[in-house]
């Protein structure tokens, strides 16, 4: 099995700029930020994408949302932010380990590109 980039970051074998951690999640800054704050919220468990989620993962996804809310206050710009979970190549997913993008610090347009 080929190595997963985010599993390597979680294991500490590839550096990541960590901004938060719980028993089940890590959060680190995106290497190619698309906003003044761009953080990735990532489960420690290797789950490929939203498409692989099962009912048992429901609490984990809830924890991801709550961590995003907290990080928006702690490292973001507070009230206004965007959460993104790209799912599949055509939707822009490039790393196949589930993650939520937390973006803040600028105005965002809609629809997204
Ligand atoms: P996605 O395209 O939605 O799968 O998001 C993957 C994200 O991972 C992209 O925004 C990349 O910039 C980011 N990324 C890729 N390599 C690294 C890395 N070594 N450290 C932090 N973020 C990364």
Q: What is the CATH number of the domain that holds 79?
A: 3.30.428.10
**Residue 111 covered by a domain:** no
50-94 pLDDT per residue, tens: 999 999 999 999 999 999 999 999 997 888 999 999 999 999 999
Which residue has a Cα nearest atom 16 of ligand 1? 31
Handedness of CA 103, 107, 111, 113 (dihedral sign): negative
Q: How close is the Cα of 88 to the center of ligand 1, in Å? A: 14
Instruction: State which ligand 1 atom lies nearest to the alpha carbon of 96.
Output: 4
State pTM to two decimals: 0.97
Among 19, 31, 100, 103, which is best to mutate for testing ligand 1, by the most ligand atoms less than 8 A from CB? Answer: 31
Total number of domains constituting the chain: 1
* % of the chain at pLDDT higher than 90: 93
Domain for residue 112, yes or no? no
Q: Which residues are known catalytic residues? A: 99
Segment 25-47 shows an average pLDDT of 98
Structure token digits, residue 89: 């190549």
Instruction: Domain of residue 76: give its range.
Output: 5-104
């Amino acid at each position: 099995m080929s190595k997963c980039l985010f599993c390597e970051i979680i294991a500490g074998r590839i550096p990541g700029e960590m901004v938060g951690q719980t028993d089940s999640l890590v959060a680190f800054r995106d290497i190619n930020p698309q906003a003044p704050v761009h953080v990735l919220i990532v489960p420690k468990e290797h789950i490929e994408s939203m498409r692989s989620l099962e009912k048992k993962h429901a609490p984990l996804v809830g924890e991801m949302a709550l961590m995003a809310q907290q990080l928006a206050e702690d490292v973001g710009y507070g009230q206004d932010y965007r959460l993104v979970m790209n799912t599949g190549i055509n939707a822009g997913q490039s790393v196949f380990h589930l993650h939520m993008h937390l973006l803040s610090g600028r105005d965002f347009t809609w629809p997204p590109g």
